[in-house]
Amino acid sequence: MTSRSRHPGEDSAASSALAESAGQAAPGTVPAKSAELLPNEPGSRPRALLLSAGLASAGAVALAAGAVLPVVRGGSPGFTAWPLLVVLALAPAVVVLYAMAVRRPGLAAGLVLGLTALAPGRLLLDLQLLADGSLAARPELFLPDRLLALPPAGPGLWLLVAGHLLTLAAGVFAAGTARDEAELAGELDGRRWRLLAPVFGVVGGIGLLLAPLGSGNAYLLAKNAFEGPTVAMAGYLLLAALFPLTVLVAVSSPSAGVGKGGFTGAALAALAVGVPPLVAGLVVDRLSVAPGSVVVTVAGLVLLGLVFTRFDVVDAGEEVTGDRAGEAELPGLFWWRLATGGLALLAAAAAAAGALAPVLKANGETPVPETPARWSLLGAAVVLAVPALFVFVPRLSAFARGVVAATWAGVVLAGAAVLSAALSVTEDKAVDPALFGVDLPLPLPDKVGYSVGPGVTWTFIALALAAVAALAAVVTGVVERDADDSDAGMDGARANGNVLTPLVAAAVLAIAAFGTPVFTAPGYTAPGLWSDFGAASWGLLGALAVVLGLYALVVRSRPVAAASALAGAALVLGLRAAELPLVGSEYEGSSAGIGFWLALGAAVVSLVAAGMAVAGSRRPE
């Protein structure tokens, strides 16, 4: 059967598959020898897709029932939220069933996968009610009116857990159909407007990290993701990471149906998280609306709006001429470079402000020492700002943009360490002196005399701007590649395959460098990846993930892109090593740790690999 791309309103391939399943050959197709479908047709997995839709529907019903029944024994919600929660729970299942009814298997599979991607994070948010419901900021399900010690779980909570588990199971059966639809659709079209969707995915991810609502209720503590209880913190962090990633993966699918369904399912799941606290802030006494739920709701609604725009793949025989009047287009390359450089400079400025502003402020007269990690954040600001300036230089823009796409991870690395110091005030009985230098006078006053300072706010802003700048850098790279006629599709120069050996060595060194302490000092316990995991460890994990991701992309990148990615990775590793003079010098008796030498070694190997990528560039056969 000849496969071709389809208009979103058409489902010719699926119709052909259904016709063949009835023993009839569709017009213009090669008749099958039997009633069996070709293995790569979407309809070749009808039972799996039906099972997936059934599981997703059962999960939606369980979530709706869980919203009606009490989630905590003896407790009640802060307002009559069950009608809203039932609608938010059943709406995705209704859309999935509609897609099945109109024979849009790709749309149905994408919807289920979008819901599945966010199900683990939503599950963790609900499990906070089981771990300690008194610490969960979920007024739509439970609003405590007195001090409770580990309130017992009610039947509604178990139904919520079952609903998320059924959604996860549905995604397993939908994956095959989504893959078949993508293979049938062919190559990804060149309409770059679709890359706007991940921008709102990142915006929604940022909203998930902010406080969902404001509270004047002494029994409900409304905190952001980093300040909340452990299980809820893990849930919000997982949602903040998976939401933009799901949208990005969805829009990269060649299948219009899978793409639309993917970010529609993710948007509906995000609205189920963001809308309830927004409504609670409006209708519940002593609660107020906070930016977090507003940002998540707006991002979800915008993504739903994009569903109704053209998202099809250009037919193989369709000639695209003119300026594509009536179709959405992204701005030109100049504007994307301007956005990348501008956002990176703003992120660097915010990081510098976070480093120089006080992280903690005393409510009394006792001064609070500043964390030495602020110098590392200031260094990260410089490392990000320098290449951002060269993004505006046309001849150096491509290389500088690639470096920016890596060095934003330095803000994550250092910012997490700065926030860790602020979190010690809310998580520990007293301020941890190890986070502020061991040579300080002890004992420090109790945490009740302190609150977070403006440095925390600026650091949060820097993290958000750095993430958006990184996404803008990626989109700029796609636009640059599309505009380069000499490097269309899979043609054009690639980095030398011999670079694989130093890449593997650099990856091993990088893992060890981020997992071992850069310096040691008496009384100081460095955050780690597999031991002493704390708030600062999330920065280590994020920076390591970025570096390893860059290494993975280098082999299939053009020489300039490969060199810029490796140079950026080297700068991030250098920033890790720079913690010895920037941070370690503030601690009495500090000395270099094994992580310092490993980070330096990984940075040197990365630079060597960058030189090899340019010197030995090749063209694929």
Q: Mind listing the pLDDT tens digit for each residue in 245-260?
A: 888 888 877 777 888 8
Same domain, 428 and 302: no
pLDDT band at 600 (very low <50, low <70, confident <90, very high): very high
Beta-bridge partner residues of 153: 72
Answer whether residue 276 shows pLDDT above 70. Answer: yes
Same domain, 273 and 408: no
**pLDDT computed for residue 366 by the predictor:** 52
Answer whether residue 324 shows pLDDT above 70. Answer: no
- Tell if the pTM clears 0.75, that is, is over it: no
Same domain, 457 and 552: yes
Query: Is residue 568 within 8 Å of 405, Cβ to Cβ?
Result: yes
Domain final position from 306, 325, 357:
306
Same domain, 505 and 419: yes
Answer whether residue 495 shows pLDDT above 90. Answer: no
Q: Which residue has the tokens 């996968």?
A: 113
**Is residue 329 one of the residues assigned to a domain?**
no
Same domain, 275 and 344: no
At 46-70, the pLDDT tens digits run 788 889 999 999 999 999 999 999 8
d(CA 164, CA 154): 17
Answer whether residue 150 shows pLDDT above 90. Answer: no
d(CA 95, CA 391): 43
**pLDDT computed for residue 362 by the predictor:** 63
Residue partners of 424: CB distance under 8 A and separation at least 6: 431, 432, 435
**pLDDT computed for residue 567 by the predictor:** 92
**Is residue 620 one of the residues assigned to a domain?**
no
At 555-570, the pLDDT tens digits run 777 788 888 889 999 9
What DSSP letter does each residue of 91-118 carry, written as one string? Answer: HHHHHHHHHHHTT-HHHHHHHHHHHHHH
Same domain, 260 and 391: no
d(CA 221, CA 523): 32
**pLDDT computed for residue 195 by the predictor:** 63
Residue of 97 and 469 predicted with greater confidence: 97
What rounded mean pLDDT belongs to the chain? 77
Burial class (CB in 10 A: 0-12, 13-18, 19+), 493: middle
Same domain, 429 and 516: yes
The distance in angstroms from the start CA to the end CA of the chain is: 28
**Is residue 120 one of the residues assigned to a domain?**
yes
**Is residue 6 one of the residues assigned to a domain?**
no
* Owning domain of residue 558: 334-484+492-615
d(CA 405, CA 400): 9
Burial class (CB in 10 A: 0-12, 13-18, 19+), 125: buried
Query: Is residue 158 within 8 Å of 275, Cβ to Cβ?
Result: no
Q: Which residue has the tokens 């819901």?
A: 115
**Is residue 102 one of the residues assigned to a domain?**
yes
**Is residue 5 one of the residues assigned to a domain?**
no
Answer whether residue 21 shows pLDDT above 50. Answer: no
Answer whether residue 151 shows pLDDT above 90. Answer: no
**Is residue 192 one of the residues assigned to a domain?**
yes
Give how far Cα 472 sits from Cα of 341, 492, 557, Å.
9, 24, 18
d(CA 577, CA 601): 10
**pLDDT computed for residue 316 by the predictor:** 35
Domain final position from 255, 290, 306:
306
**Amino acid at the residue 14:** A
**Is residue 30 one of the residues assigned to a domain?**
no
Number of domains in the chain: 2
Q: What sign does the dihedral 174-175-181-182 (CA atoms) show?
A: positive
**pLDDT computed for residue 3 by the predictor:** 37
165 token code pair: 């588990």
**pLDDT computed for residue 90 by the predictor:** 94
**Amino acid at the residue 355:** A
d(CA 476, CA 509): 30
Same domain, 271 and 363: no
Burial class (CB in 10 A: 0-12, 13-18, 19+), 418: buried
Same domain, 217 and 266: yes
Same domain, 106 and 255: yes
Same domain, 249 and 162: yes
d(CA 248, CA 243): 9
Same domain, 531 and 588: yes
